[in-house]
């Protein structure tokens, strides 16, 4: 999902779209234009096209709401959310770390389907209020003709029902697979065993999808078959990655951030001018960013080289680095020294910044852990191939 384009920010969460999403957007509008042209008997092609565009946009809005369900519950459980991304296969809420308990895992996983269920129920209620002859028939588009409003509601309700049922399949990384992982984690007391259990189900489901794709191709449905093959391949790779990650986590048990961090980090005092920061820190060490601390040594953010260079170039040389801190480096950029290193394996913030600031209970900076240090810890913990990772 490289090259994601920001579409909006909701509750401070970035909503982005990968280039592949725009391809799907075009294909869905094209498909729905034909569908509604057939369904809306007596209406113009322009009306059918307008309903197709509205249906497509409302569908993707429902996907964003689904992912916002995950994101908001994650935040309420103390887990950061870096962004929500729309892409070829739908939507994805990118959390900064994995849940700490099976209860957190279950609540976050179940929140998305709960939102989709509400959307489906709202469409059902609206159709009931429209006095259609059989809501179930309308939802499945079994009606011979329809008004634009009823056709739109029927399709939107039907597609959200498909999303709901598909996501509840107990196969990782689908929401149902994450729910299954939480339940297995609760029973076994081991998150890694729970992950492997749901990931094996995910691999099996992926092979079923790919088999279905091959069948569709043989039946002459090349587009649908290829889509199922790609979806199955993606799910299989994600499930396999979860198995590998669980093996890493087991071998890293007991290793903390404090064991691998740089315990003598270079930090910039908050009242340092940007000119002094440029001369004494960025030109001297050649790094792209530094942690910034207050008079008590507490980490308050990071300052980037481009922000410092920009302020100097604009003639604001006396501005303090505290006024040009990176706005995206929030509390997700901080980690406690006793944090298990395995918690950083899925850290989106670590991948984005390349390092995290390590703080004590009083938020005082006591180290920096880099992506390279985490990778070295992985290499030391896994000297050879991981058996059974496929």
| Bridging pattern class, strands 299-304 and 365-370 | unpaired
In sequence order, the β-bridge partners of residue 335 are 358
User: What domains are there in the chain, each with its CATH number?
Assistant: 5-251 (no CATH), 257-381 (3.10.580.10)
10 Å CB burial of residue 143 (0-12, 13-18, 19+) is middle
Q: Which ranges in 140-174 belong to alpha helices (H)?
A: 148-167
pLDDT of residue 163: 94
pLDDT tens-digit profile, the chain (390 residues): 457 889 999 988 999 999 989 999 999 999 899 988 888 888 899 999 999 999 999 999 999 999 999 999 999 998 888 899 998 888 999 888 888 899 999 999 999 999 999 999 999 898 888 866 666 666 666 665 668 888 899 899 999 999 999 999 999 989 999 999 999 999 999 888 899 999 999 999 999 999 999 998 998 888 788 988 999 999 999 888 888 877 777 777 778 888 889 888 899 999 999 999 999 999 998 888 899 999 999 998 889 999 999 999 999 999 999 999 988 776 668 888 888 877 777 777 788 778 888 998 888 999 998 888 888 877 776 544 433 333
Q: Measured between alpha carbons, how far is 11 from 32 in angstroms, rounded to an integer?
A: 31
Q: Measured between alpha carbons, how far is 198 from 190 in angstroms, rounded to an integer?
A: 13
The phi and psi torsions of 200 (rounded to 5 degrees) equal -65, -40
| Bridging pattern class, strands 268-269 and 90-95 | unpaired
| 217: region left, alpha or beta (phi > 0 left; psi from -120 to 50 alpha) | alpha
How many CA atoms within 13 Å lie on the side-chain side of 96? Answer: 22
Q: What angle do CA 256, 259, 261 make, to 5 degrees?
A: 105
| Bridging pattern class, strands 5-10 and 13-17 | antiparallel
- Assign 3-class secondary structure to 123-153: HHHHHHHCCCCCHHHHHCCCCCCCCHHHHHH
Q: Measured between alpha carbons, how far is 185 from 359 in angstroms, rounded to an integer?
A: 29
How many CB atoms are located within 10 Å of the residue 90 CB?
Answer: 18
pLDDT of residue 28: 92
Instruction: List Cα–Cα distances, 344 to 3, 143, 334, 362, 366, in angstroms.
Output: 23, 52, 11, 21, 17
pLDDT of residue 66: 97
pLDDT of residue 138: 62
Q: Measured between alpha carbons, how far is 39 from 4 in angstroms, rounded to an integer?
A: 35
Q: What angle do CA 33, 39, 42 make, to 5 degrees?
A: 100
Q: What is the pTM of this model?
A: 0.72
């Amino acid at each position: 999902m490289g090259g994601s384009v920001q579409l909006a920010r909701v509750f401070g969460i970035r909503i982005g779209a990968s280039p592949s999403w725009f391809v799907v957007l075009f294909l869905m509008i094209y498909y729905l234009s034909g569908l509604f042209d057939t369904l809306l008997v007596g209406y113009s092609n322009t009306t059918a096209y307008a309903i197709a565009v509205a249906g497509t946009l409302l569908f993707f809005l429902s996907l964003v709401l689904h992912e916002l369900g995950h994101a908001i519950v994650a935040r309420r459980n103390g887990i950061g959310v870096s962004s929500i991304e729309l892409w070829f296969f739908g939507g994805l809420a990118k959390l900064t770390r994995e849940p700490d308990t099976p209860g957190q895992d279950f609540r976050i996983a179940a929140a998305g389907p709960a939102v989709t269920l509400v959307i489906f129920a709202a469409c059902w209620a609206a159709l009931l209020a429209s006095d259609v002859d059989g809501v179930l028939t309308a939802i499945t588009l079994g009606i011979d003709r329809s008004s634009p409003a009823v056709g739109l509601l029927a399709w939107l309700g039907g597609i959200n029902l498909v999303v709901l049922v598909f996501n509840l399949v107990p196969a990782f990384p689908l929401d149902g697979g994450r729910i299954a992982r939480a339940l297995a984690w609760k029973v076994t007391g081991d998150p890694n065993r729970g992950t492997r259990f749901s990931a094996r189900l995910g691999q099996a489901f992926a092979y079923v999808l790919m088999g279905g794709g091959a069948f569709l191709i043989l039946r002459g449905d090349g587009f649908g078959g290829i889509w199922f093959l790609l979806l199955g391949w993606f799910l299989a790779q994600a499930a396999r990655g979860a198995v590998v990650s669980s093996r890493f986590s087991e071998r890293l048990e007991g290793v903390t951030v404090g064991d691998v961090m740089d315990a003598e980090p270079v930090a910039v005092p908050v009242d340092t001018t940007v000119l002094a920061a440029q001369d004494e820190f960025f030109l001297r060490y050649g790094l792209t960013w530094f942690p910034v601390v207050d008079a008590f040594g507490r980490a308050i953010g990071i300052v980037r080289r481009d922000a410092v260079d920009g302020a100097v170039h604009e003639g604001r040389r006396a501005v303090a680095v505290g006024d040009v801190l990176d706005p995206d480096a929030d509390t997700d950029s901080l980690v406690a020294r006793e944090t298990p290193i395995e918690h950083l394996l899925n850290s989106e913030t670590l991948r984005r910044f390349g390092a995290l600031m390590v703080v004590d209970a009083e938020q005082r900076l006591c180290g920096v852990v880099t992506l390279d240090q985490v990778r070295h810890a992985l290499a030391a913990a896994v000297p050879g191939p991981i058996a059974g990772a496929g």
